Amino acid sequence: MEKIDFPSTAINNIYLYIEDLSNINKLTADWLGSKNNFLNYSEFIAGLYDDFWFDLFVKNQIKLLGFSSELDKWLNKLNDSLINYDKKVEKEKLSDKEILTDKTFIGIIQEAIKVKSLWEADKLAKQYINLD
């Protein structure tokens, strides 16, 4: 496993995406409300994966950074769930409103809540939260 130099700000941004993903009210306001930080589900996923390389971070960096094995396990679970769910969204052409009420997506939100909690409790991982 090769360590890639992930900037601390990128790791913080990954955490912020997970924080957003853990909050159904924020997602609803962002995707369906008048204040669109992310225009929709697709923009959210593109930002997490294309801008901050979430899958690469999870698969290659967590252990190297020394994050706990429990956080590693849940980050991998969340990553796998998001990848699989994105395939469902593409296949079924789900709207943002349908996504926000989908049982599978609600389960992903629950996973994000768990990851957020573990991240905040992990001594090494929490060093990457709220960086300037």
Residue boundaries of the structural domains of the chain = 8-128
pLDDT at 7: 79
Would you state the pLDDT for residue 38?
A: 58
53 or 39, which is more confident: 53
Find, among 37, 49, 44, the residue nearest to 10 by Cα. Answer: 49
Task: Give the mean pLDDT of 33-38.
Answer: 63
Q: pTM for this structure?
A: 0.90
Q: Specify the higher pLDDT residue, 129 or 37.
A: 129
59-77 pLDDT tens trace = 988 988 999 999 999 999 9
Cα R_g (the chain), whole angstroms: 14
Assess whether pLDDT exceeds 70 at residue 1: no
